[in-house]
Structure 1
Amino acid sequence: MNLDFLILLIGFGMVAIAGNQIAKFFQKIKFPLVTGLIVTGIIAGTSLLNFIPSETLPKLNFLNSIALAIIAFSAGAELYIKDLRSRISSIKWMTIGQLFVTLILSAWVIYFFASKIPFMNSLDDKTKIVVSVLFGVIFVARSPSSIIAVINELRANGPFTKTAIGVTVVKDVLVIILFSICFTVSKSIVNGDQFGITFLGFLFSELILSFILGILIGKLLNLILSVEIFNLLKGGLIILVGYSVYVFSFFVKEKTGEILTHEILLEPLLICIIGSFYITNYSKNRIEFIELLHTISPTIYVVFFTLIGASLSFQTLIQVFWIAIALFSLRIFTMFLGGIFGVLASKDDKSYLFISWMPYVSQAGVALGLTTIIASEFPTWGLEFQTIIIGIIVINQLVGDPLFKWSINFTNESNLKHKTPDFDGIKDVMIFGLESQSIALAMNLKKGGWVPTIISLEELNDQKNTDLEIISIKNISPESFELLSLKKADAIVCLLSDKQNYDVSKIIYDSYGTKDIIVRYNGEREIYDKLVDLGVRIIDPSLAMINLLDHFVRSPNATSILLGLYKNQETVDVVIRNKDIHGMTLRDMRFPTDVIVLSVIRAGQVLISHGFTRLRLGDTVTLVGTKKSVENVRFKLES
């Protein structure tokens, strides 16, 4: 490694670090991360600041090889066959629609209007066909990371969502396989090679050899993952294996070109994706492999997207902007037709007919990776091709996620929690279920300064407890809940059957966003998992008794205080709402000497509190002490 190369590598590393920070700023103004990285690369490249001169870019090609290998590994890791079984028919037909309708129709239209695209105007007919088909293949690629991010953000679940994620991961794998075939054929056409039985035989043999090597790579990765070593070292070995695939493919191409009359062209992307598929479906190390990829991918992508931006010409990007918009519109139209075909062929819900294309708009890693390969192989027109595709991808990233979010909300598959209402100064609690325990709970809470309301599902003939507010509703439904003052509730307690408890919790979660939902669990395991997904606090009476006795044995004094057995002691959670408290440390609060801060919870995380812990608005502070002192501290923090 010479000094010039080392300086180049350090310089590019600094640009990539800056790109990562700039990309985060782009995210704040609702632009995709990829856009920020590409823009940074353009600024640092030859178009503007020339921090990365064009003549140095070939020396950094090894970074592209590493990134492409990781992209292929990530695509293969998403294809877990067992996850696709429930929606296999819909996934199959939607994949066919999105894959072939989009590819064939896009390629045909682009070839027909080739004279309108500047760099295609001077190409011969055979090369125009090649470019058109490659456009079509890139149009089909999708971004699994984007779709997964949206699903996680909205906590989406349902047939539409399952089909969308299934089609995305299947399509990305098929796109790489299809690209491998089309790319090999395209090189032969552009180079003037003759088609025939011999050519097809070589093509078939190369694909079979790539599949076999992919399985061997999968076994090698499985061996690496099985060894007890640091995860950082495992991640480095995965990167090394991916890069080695590209080095080996180049070595085979060079040596067979010298020895034979025909170069053997292995497909590194195909090898990597088959290896990843093997690990995901035929080994016990799937979870660890995915976690390692999630750890190393962000850094790899920052380098990759920044390098792509550095290789672009800003002037060319401006010139082809309107062409990019036209081709973006073409892609949307062909995806729309493909979506209609998929819904009709799979006999899915007809309400999906005009929205089924929306999950597949965003593009990122795979599409950019394939475009980079094309630009490298066909230098005469590849850079213009790459510039147009990147323009399309940027537009796709801007509109893709909002469209997918809209389609999820349209199909009512979003499980996003309703915004938690602001505290109105009164601690309201709604208790569902009229029984002895609910009455006893309400009376205790009332003594503690809460305003309880008991909700009964039965008609009230004689309200014995005149001191408590008891309301009767006909059923558990959004309409019945509108008659209640649930928007001001600070806590919900459910003491009904498990099914009824879940129904209440789901409506509260979707429509009211109450922060604390406490449920008494009665033993239905299927309902338990659903309650966990909603994030409610579950009380199992049998386990609660065992845990209570356990705590009494190990810590009788603390447990007695918690249960209120010491009449003058109290334990409470207080949410900081006093703006004057914001930023102050615990040591500066001058709490009474008989009050102790047990914990501070911020953004769902428990902080180990000490004198230098700074309090923030919205923090939940757990206090223990005498009732009078605790009440004084509560007033100070909440007022």
Structure 2
Amino acid sequence: MIEESTMIQMLILIAGFALVAVSSNQIARQFQKIHLPLISGLMITGVLAGPYVLNLIPEIAKVQLSFISETALAYIAFAAGSELYLNEMRSKLRSIKIQSFAQTAITFLASGFLVFFLADMIPFMKELSLGDKLSVSLLTGVIFVTPSPASVIAIVNELRAKGPFTQVVLGVTIVKDFVVVVMFAIILAVAKTLAHGDSFELTSLLIIVIELIVSFGGGFLVGKGLEAALKLKIKHLVKTVLILALGYLVYLLSHHILAWSEELSGHGLYLEPLLICLVGSFYVANYSNYRPEFLKILHEVGTPVYVAFFTLTGASMDLPVLAEVWGIALLFFVIRLLATTVGALAGNMLAGDPHRFLKVVWMPYIAQAGVALGLATVIANQFPGWGEDFAVLIIAIIVINQLVGPPFVRWAIDLVGENKSRADVPRFDGVMDALIFGYESQSLALSRQLMEKGWKVEMITLSDQKDVEVPDGIKLHFVTQIDKKLFEGIDAKKFDAIVTLLSDEENYRICEIVYEEIGTKQVVVRLNERVNLDKFVHLGVKVIDPSTAMVSLLDHFVRSPQATSLLLGMEQGQDTRDIVIRNPDLHGLPLRSLRLPPEVIILSMRRAGQMIISHGYTRLRVGDIVTMVGSNSSLDEIELKFGN
């Protein structure tokens, strides 16, 4: 009866936390609007929902829901290991190794020494024994080395950053993450010995070596387990569940082995779950054929895992202790910042990297997140006396680092000129201009149709001028290569649409330059090899695959002949158009208040890149794209009115 009651309470606790987590995800996204990281919003929401404010998540949840934290920590280790991909690191391996060593050594030694020196200024350390103070200092040094791969990778992807600086930053961040987990396993064992007042004997060293060997062996087995799960011919969702379950199983076995070894020999054998999961993920990423699928699963499940973990972490914060250590947390932030800066500068100079990087080389390593929080959680559990207070202090420092760190990553990438994010969209000049790459029958036919619709068309060809007959009404540019100077020479920002009909390599080069330098939104590519589809899609261009376009067209004619005829403009006097709202007088006007000709129908609306479900009370905004079908004359009239 008691077990049944406990189970019901557990289910209620899980259901309540799930509701809070869903709300936390929505609330945290509002923090992004003021340029704060998502995880900061999640943690703040967790604090508000926790036992010291609204009490939506009771204090008992920290223990009862520990399986959520442990599953999330396993995922974080999987994600970090999967980014340690050797093939992408070889060209900068020397710089990565030297910088990783310099940053790790200097940050660990400098921060550990300063924490020990300032021990009497830290409330919970004042009354600790010498052994405990040394333990806190060593563990702090390890955690201060910890970077935030998740933050760096997210910003690099957002900016599409490329170049030697970005490559080294990614490599160092991931290598340090791996090294920290190994270091932590060693330092944790040393800290336990110091905290218990035992002398550090050969037996203690032997136990550490055994723990590391078994952890690496366990990591290999986990890698094989992940590979086996990915091999299965089952649904994607089931594979995701199996991978997360395997991560949690690592934690369960680690706890059982620790308890069993203590009971058997009096010496606890602690296998570091983070290290095991990281090694397993590293194996899958580098020595299996399933890296792409593994990365896809980790990417898809990342948001719910982070939402649960960081919300629960925020709810688990001891606010009274946090308020007491906030001033010390700011001091520790400065200590870590100085140690990290010195380590990064030393690493850059020792590696012989360009001196222009010296001003910014320290910026990407400020942020901290998942792994650092995970290590703080482990310490809280392993040292009952002062572990909780230590974890709260570390979490306060991590919160500061995570608030301050990500903007510095972006600034560093901007300052070295490796930001490849999308250029601003050019303003409409009142004339519809199109630029077509490639001189052939299809490009000529497209040019004529666009000119009939009132567009001005220019064409670029790599062909020899003597082999080409210049068509009437089309400005033709003869070039020998495609580069940024070409786009500057033709004033490319005036074009409202760009069409590329060259080879995939040339098309991709054009799309990259347009994305990074020009900003034109309407880019259409004719694909040659389907294997190249994804890289074009990532640039946000419209891709036409000739091998499937005809089949899709025939399919639509069979299933929806009337709609297809309308969309293709095959009905006499009828057409379908995307009309951009540029007239400021229409801003805020409901659709039902528009005076449209009776034969014109609104098919869809797109706002800020998202399709919206429109109805009579939907209000227009400048920049909206409204798709309409109707007679050519009516659409011409509406286009003039809406476009102003």
Smaller-chain TM-score bracket: 0.7 to 0.9
Where in structure 1 are there 5+ consecutive unaligned residues?
none
C-alpha deviations, 1:222-265, integer Å up to 9, x for none? 32332233333333333332222222222222222222232222
The counterpart of 2:519, out of the listed 508, 513, 516, is 513
Q: How does 1:451-462 map to 2 (within 5 A)?
A: 451-452=456-457
Shift of 1:577: 4.1
The counterpart of 1:359, out of the listed 336, 339, 364, is 364
Q: Is 1:226 aligned to 2:235, yes or no?
A: no
In the other structure, the counterpart of 1:294 is: 299
| Counterpart residue identity of residue 417, structure 1 | R
Is the 8 Å Cα contact of residues 211 and 270 (structure 1) preserved in structure 2? Answer: yes
In the other structure, the counterpart of 1:169 is: 174
C-alpha deviations, 1:287-328, integer Å up to 9, x for none? 333333333333333232233223323232233222212211
Instruction: Work out the CA distance in 2 between the residues paired with 1:634 and 1:485.
Output: 25
Instruction: Work out the CA distance in 2 between the residues paired with 1:252 and 1:413.
Output: 48
- Report the CA distance shift for 1:616/1:278 in structure 2 as closer, same or farther (over 3 A): farther
Shift of 1:18: 3.5
* Equivalences, count: 631
RMSD of aligned residue pairs (Cα, Å): 4.2
- Indicate the percent of aligned positions where both proteins have the same amino acid: 43
Partner of 1:173, secondary structure, is helix
Q: How does 1:351-390 map to 2 (within 5 A)?
A: 351-390=356-395
- Report the CA distance shift for 1:322/1:569 in structure 2 as closer, same or farther (over 3 A): same
Shift of 1:187: 0.9
In the other structure, the counterpart of 2:192 is: 187
- Report the CA distance shift for 1:555/1:6 in structure 2 as closer, same or farther (over 3 A): closer
- Report the CA distance shift for 1:466/1:75 in structure 2 as closer, same or farther (over 3 A): closer
Partner of 1:93, secondary structure, is helix
In the other structure, the counterpart of 1:39 is: 44
Q: How does 1:433-472 map to 2 (within 5 A)?
A: 445-452=450-457
The counterpart of 1:280, out of the listed 282, 285, 300, is 285
In the other structure, the counterpart of 1:326 is: 331
C-alpha deviations, 1:471-507, integer Å up to 9, x for none? 9999977677667554443124568999887766555
Instruction: Work out the CA distance in 2 between the residues paired with 1:415 and 1:220.
Output: 38
- Report the CA distance shift for 1:194/1:427 in structure 2 as closer, same or farther (over 3 A): same
The counterpart of 2:591, out of the listed 584, 587, 591, is 584
Is the 8 Å Cα contact of residues 587 and 620 (structure 2) preserved in structure 1? Answer: no
Range with bigger deviation, 442-451 or 208-217:
442-451
In the other structure, the counterpart of 2:165 is: 160
Shift of 1:563: 8.7
Range with bigger deviation, 554-563 or 504-513:
554-563
Q: Is 1:58 aligned to 2:63, yes or no?
A: yes
The counterpart of 2:77, out of the listed 72, 76, 86, is 72
Instruction: Work out the CA distance in 2 between the residues paired with 1:394 and 1:30.
Output: 15
Partner of 2:189, secondary structure, is helix
In the other structure, the counterpart of 2:252 is: 247
C-alpha deviations, 1:377-417, integer Å up to 9, x for none? 22322222222212221121122111111111112111111
Is the 8 Å Cα contact of residues 134 and 194 (structure 2) preserved in structure 1? Answer: no
Q: How does 1:571-610 map to 2 (within 5 A)?
A: 572-577=577-582, 579=586, 584=591, 593=599
| Counterpart residue identity of residue 63, structure 2 | P
Shift of 1:330: 1.7
In the other structure, the counterpart of 1:139 is: 144
Is the 8 Å Cα contact of residues 154 and 414 (structure 1) preserved in structure 2? Answer: yes
Range with bigger deviation, 595-604 or 623-632:
595-604
Shift of 1:605: 6.6
Q: How does 1:42-121 map to 2 (within 5 A)?
A: 42-54=47-59, 57-121=62-126
Range with bigger deviation, 504-513 or 438-447:
438-447
Instruction: Work out the CA distance in 1 between the residues paired with 2:317 and 2:568.
Output: 67
Is the 8 Å Cα contact of residues 363 and 393 (structure 1) preserved in structure 2? Answer: yes
In the other structure, the counterpart of 1:489 is: 495
Partner of 1:320, secondary structure, is helix
Q: Is 1:238 aligned to 2:254, yes or no?
A: no
Shift of 1:621: 5.1
Instruction: Work out the CA distance in 2 between the residues paired with 1:17 and 1:392.
Output: 26
Range with bigger deviation, 360-369 or 567-576:
567-576
| Counterpart residue identity of residue 352, structure 2 | K
Partner of 2:390, secondary structure, is helix
| Counterpart residue identity of residue 591, structure 2 | M
Q: How does 1:299-318 map to 2 (within 5 A)?
A: 299-318=304-323
| Counterpart residue identity of residue 318, structure 2 | S
| Counterpart residue identity of residue 97, structure 2 | K
- Report the CA distance shift for 1:457/1:85 in structure 2 as closer, same or farther (over 3 A): closer
- Report the CA distance shift for 1:267/1:539 in structure 2 as closer, same or farther (over 3 A): closer
Instruction: Work out the CA distance in 2 between the residues paired with 1:92 and 1:386.
Output: 30
Range with bigger deviation, 278-287 or 344-353:
278-287
Q: How does 1:518-597 map to 2 (within 5 A)?
A: 534-536=539-541, 572-577=577-582, 579=586, 584=591, 593=599
The counterpart of 1:196, out of the listed 183, 197, 201, is 201
- Report the CA distance shift for 1:620/1:259 in structure 2 as closer, same or farther (over 3 A): same
Partner of 2:434, secondary structure, is strand
The counterpart of 1:125, out of the listed 130, 139, 150, is 130
Shift of 1:75: 2.0
Instruction: Work out the CA distance in 2 between the residues paired with 1:286 and 1:496.
Output: 32
Partner of 2:520, secondary structure, is coil
Is the 8 Å Cα contact of residues 500 and 507 (structure 2) preserved in structure 1? Answer: yes
Is the 8 Å Cα contact of residues 474 and 480 (structure 1) preserved in structure 2? Answer: no
Shift of 1:620: 4.2
Partner of 2:591, secondary structure, is coil
Instruction: Work out the CA distance in 2 between the residues paired with 1:585 and 1:173.
Output: 59
Instruction: Work out the CA distance in 2 between the residues paired with 1:439 and 1:412.
Output: 38
Q: Is 1:266 aligned to 2:289, yes or no?
A: no
C-alpha deviations, 1:262-298, integer Å up to 9, x for none? 2222222222222222232233333333333333333
Shift of 1:549: 11
Partner of 1:229, secondary structure, is coil
C-alpha deviations, 1:364-388, integer Å up to 9, x for none? 1101010011122223222222222
Shift of 1:156: 1.1
Shift of 1:11: 3.5
Is the 8 Å Cα contact of residues 336 and 354 (structure 1) preserved in structure 2? Answer: no
Is the 8 Å Cα contact of residues 470 and 476 (structure 2) preserved in structure 1? Answer: no
Shift of 1:528: 10
Is the 8 Å Cα contact of residues 218 and 276 (structure 1) preserved in structure 2? Answer: yes
- Report the CA distance shift for 1:51/1:469 in structure 2 as closer, same or farther (over 3 A): closer
Range with bigger deviation, 255-264 or 184-193:
255-264
Is the 8 Å Cα contact of residues 587 and 619 (structure 2) preserved in structure 1? Answer: no
| Counterpart residue identity of residue 26, structure 1 | F
Shift of 1:567: 8.4
Range with bigger deviation, 491-500 or 336-345:
491-500
Instruction: Work out the CA distance in 1 between the residues paired with 2:533 and 2:57.
Output: 56
TM-score w.r.t. structure 1 length? 0.84
Q: Is 1:394 aligned to 2:399, yes or no?
A: yes
Q: How does 1:332-343 map to 2 (within 5 A)?
A: 332-343=337-348
- Report the CA distance shift for 1:249/1:517 in structure 2 as closer, same or farther (over 3 A): closer
Is the 8 Å Cα contact of residues 561 and 571 (structure 1) preserved in structure 2? Answer: yes
Partner of 2:96, secondary structure, is helix
Partner of 2:89, secondary structure, is helix
Partner of 2:579, secondary structure, is strand
Q: Is 1:15 aligned to 2:20, yes or no?
A: yes
Is the 8 Å Cα contact of residues 119 and 384 (structure 1) preserved in structure 2? Answer: yes
